[in-house]
Structure 1
Amino acid sequence: MRPEILAGPVVLRKYEPGFIPLLFEAARASCSPLFTRYARWCHPDYAVADSEQFIAQCERDWQDGTAFNFALLDARTSELCGGIGLNQPNRVHGFYNLGYWVRPSRQGQGLASQATRQLALAAFADLAELNRLEILVVPDNLASQRTALAAGATREGLLRQRLLVGIDLQDAILFSLIRADIA
């Protein structure tokens, strides 16, 4: 998978150790009850060590192909606006999960939908075995549903108790992107 993808006003760049302070700052700036409701990894005690561990894990995952995580950077200012990535591969059926987050101060600008579309284009070009990308969204996360649809994903249905959010099993709406959607 390529380490950098241009996506309009943002650049998707493979996480690297130099992003540790940027990720820490973005996480701390995002730590509000509305954001952390869906992004449980972001919590009031989030520390620099959390960013270090995440980025180190990203490198290991990238090496073995189990995840390809990118920082979503403002193309003009290099501000870390959020993150996006592919994870949880199913090698038998050729699909990955696609997930994204955008810091609250940059939400509502279309960044995640543009990044999702560009990541999908790159993934289908770079990963020959890839047949499909899946996006799982809890039903009350309307912004994330709008992002998936704006990126061209198809809503497939409701999966009962499919998504573990924190310690709670929740229903999830499944969206998908296939090669024909991106062509």
Structure 2
Amino acid sequence: MRIEPTSSTLSLRPWHADDLDALLAAYRDPVLRHWTRVPVTNAAEGRRWLDRVRTDWDDGSRYTFAVIDADDGPPVANVVLKRADLDRPGAEVGYWTAAWARGRGIAPRAVTMLSEWAFDRFPELTHLDLLHQVDNVASCRVAQKSGYLFQEVLPARPPFPLDGHRHTLTAP
């Protein structure tokens, strides 16, 4: 499965086992490691991460996509749809961008692509949420550029030490 809009050079696809080197390279970035909850510091952790995202696809609990810029190069980012249960009206999106791909508008375009896919794939969804800590200014900008509107400040709770923001995109 691949998601490829006609107006962008980006495409989304499930992660593959042969993406391990790109995954490890992305996680060498201390900024990325700071904002993610699951560390990937070596090949064994990377293989577990890839196995988990494949299992999550199979059981429908999460849909994690590698973001490919231009033809079939290595992944430059990651987007994920979490908790798209049929008995809930909303789900959550998440993302990260590799250090070498930041500043090119990849994250907002990939989040927009994922959001459109989610509403098409799960017509019962009424909204999507994007959550981030209050000190993650870049994620606030990604949410805004992706059409997500600020809704509220969320109190800190483990594993997040600071309050957060909830941004929401309503189904078309």
Residue 58 of structure 1: SS of its match in structure 2?
Answer: helix
Alignment of 1:139-178 (within 5 A): 139-162=134-157, 164-165=159-160, 169-178=161-170
Return structure 1 stretches of 4+ with deviation > 2 angstroms: 34-37, 39-43, 88-94, 162-165
Q: TM-score, normalised by structure 2?
A: 0.89
Is residue 23 of structure 2 the alignment partner of residue 23 of structure 1?
Answer: yes
Structure 2 counterpart of 1:179, which letter?
A
Q: Structure 2: where are the runs of 5+ without partners?
A: none
Matches within 5 A, 1:16-165: 16-28=16-28, 30=29, 32=30, 34-42=31-39, 46-76=41-71, 78-162=73-157, 164-165=159-160
Q: State the alpha-carbon separation in 1 of the partners of residues 20 and 90 from structure 2.
A: 29
For residues 16 and 104 of structure 1, the distance between their equivalents in structure 2, rounded to whole angstroms, comes to: 20
What is the total number of aligned residue pairs between the two structures? 170
Q: Following the alignment from structure 2 to structure 1, what is the Cα–Cα distance between the partners of residues 120 and 157? A: 29
The structure richer in strand per residue is 1
Does the residue aligned with 1:71 lie in a helix, a strand or coil?
strand
- 1:177 is displaced (CA, Å) by 1.0
Percent of aligned pairs with the same amino acid: 25
8 Å CA contact retained: 1:163, 1:171: no
Q: Where does structure 1 lack aligned partners over 5 or more consecutive residues?
A: none
What RMSD, in angstroms, separates the aligned Cα atoms of the two structures? 1.8
Cα shift readout 1:108-128 (whole Å, capped 9, x = no counterpart)? 111010011111111111112
Q: Give, in whole Å, the separation in 1 of the partners of 2:86 and 2:156.
A: 23
CA separation of 1:92 and 1:163: change in aligned 2, threshold 3 A = farther
